[in-house]
Structure 1
């Protein structure tokens, strides 16, 4: 009897071992869901095909770069050199720019002998955290930097300013070479310290005065007086995005003239934290460069 039980136990053990081996083989092969096993090389081919399909439907880096339009303006006055940098999404889909730190641009100024006079990042500290900037179709990012002419030792002469925007990725795709670089020639001289049009007297050195703002949550009325040699312009921004594109205000008389500007900005475009600012400025008739600019806050959020 004991021998019979021993033989029966041995047979059950062998059956269980065989079932386990079969299940392991089926698990290693996988299943399509209909009970048929899948060979490992078939799974690898399927994954490769899916990756290739995703890559084929995603725009390549060069295509993304081509739909980003960079613009740099430099305004020179008697005391300041102001760099305004913009990057606009001209495409139909949203783009996300990734920056490896809090420094999103670099500015270098060389004199006529190519000696380095100024480097924006020199002596500055930036956060090490990654920064992501979404850019919807038609929208633009804007940066502005003011450089003190006296402090930086910029004497009268011709200079070369090079601006480089510093994203490391576009839509998670690595930028091997930085394509967002622009070089501008600028002149600093006595003529830049003088107003474009002589003012009535020394008590009115600015081109804009008595500017007042009323309104809230995107609905604003801006009033004031302008003293410019020709029509003047304005745009509205929040420090990152341009909320109202450049708009011309026509002047009818020479000298001080009153103006009123009514603004309506979609509340969805207003920042959660930050300030909305209106910028007034003239343009040089010869080269179209901005000059005699003045900024006024509309609302702080």
Structure 2
């Protein structure tokens, strides 16, 4: 009898917790992680549920968040929702206890058809639920994440780089515009060099954009157990110094 009573009290306390806690009491984290690459930035949207109960975020449309990028003088150079259409129907995102919701959006650094200048930018991410676990959302201070990011200078030698493959076998395609008809590449993880420097001779005239394709093959047993496997494309100057480096993440290991 005492065991049944304890079970009833336990579940009753959970119900009271769900009904009684508002946005400020529920334990969750929302943030954005911008990762700026040579040709685009990845915005990783993260909602982490630190509660012992599921969290149900309800949205009035299929747009669950907004992303805005501001330049150094506060001018908007990117708005995620601009030019997009969203389903006009309620959507619910449920995150189970101690689980994390992740989503990645990309921006190609273009503003009015032109690439933005190199420099520091501010990223503002806003989560847009109207209710959380059935309670209206009034305080939105915890639903906003602001981060800084650096947009790199445009690479003059490599562009339109794409990567396919995994588990040690990768195909990289793109375009190169070299000064002497060749470039170089290596593969490493920040600690170990998995492929020593190799030379690639491009077809076509120097200083013209020409397509290229590289196949990278690394035995699976030699792959790192954690971290990132990175391909570096680059030129060498007349003084034999590495210039115009373009990093490509081949695979991430956890």
Do residues 92 (structure 1) and 37 (structure 2) align?
no
1:175 aligns with one of 125, 128, 137: 137
- Runs (4+) of structure 1 moved beyond 6 Å? none
Aligned to 2:76: 116
Do residues 127 (structure 1) and 87 (structure 2) align?
yes
Q: 2:39·2:109 contact (CA, 8 Å) conserved in 1?
A: yes
Report the Cα distance in structure 1 between the residues aligned to 2:35 and 2:128, rounded to whole angstroms: 22
Report the Cα distance in structure 2 between the residues aligned to 1:97 and 1:57, rounded to whole angstroms: 13
Q: 2:69·2:124 contact (CA, 8 Å) conserved in 1?
A: yes
Do residues 184 (structure 1) and 144 (structure 2) align?
no
Larger relative contact order (CA 8 Å, sep ≥ 6): 2
Report the Cα distance in structure 1 between the residues aligned to 2:249 and 2:218, rounded to whole angstroms: 17
Report the Cα distance in structure 2 between the residues aligned to 1:173 and 1:281, rounded to whole angstroms: 44
2:129 counterpart SS class = coil
Aligned to 2:21: 60
Report the Cα distance in structure 1 between the residues aligned to 2:87 and 2:18, rounded to whole angstroms: 35
Structure 1: where are the runs of 5+ without partners? 1-53, 196-201, 213-221, 232-250, 262-278, 283-290, 297-301
Change (3 A) 1:73 1:228: farther
Larger strand fraction of residues? 2
Change (3 A) 1:121 1:91: same
CA shift, 1:292, in A, is 3.6
Report the Cα distance in structure 2 between the residues aligned to 1:258 and 1:173, rounded to whole angstroms: 52
Report the Cα distance in structure 2 between the residues aligned to 1:294 and 1:194, rounded to whole angstroms: 21
Deviation track 1:203-256 (CA, whole Å, cap 9, x = no partner) reads xx77x76x35xxxxxxxxx3426923516xxxxxxxxxxxxxxxxxxx464547
2:220 counterpart SS class = strand
Deviation track 1:34-85 (CA, whole Å, cap 9, x = no partner) reads xxxxxxxxxxxxxxxxxxxx75773411221xx2122321111221121111
Aligned length: 178
Q: 1:78·1:194 contact (CA, 8 Å) conserved in 2?
A: no
Report the TM-score, using the length of structure 2 for normalisation: 0.59
Structure number with bigger Rg: 1
Deviation track 1:84-116 (CA, whole Å, cap 9, x = no partner) reads 111011121111111111111101111111112
Q: 1:105·1:164 contact (CA, 8 Å) conserved in 2?
A: yes
2:58 counterpart SS class = strand
1:98 counterpart SS class = strand
Report the aligned-residue RMSD.
Answer: 3.4
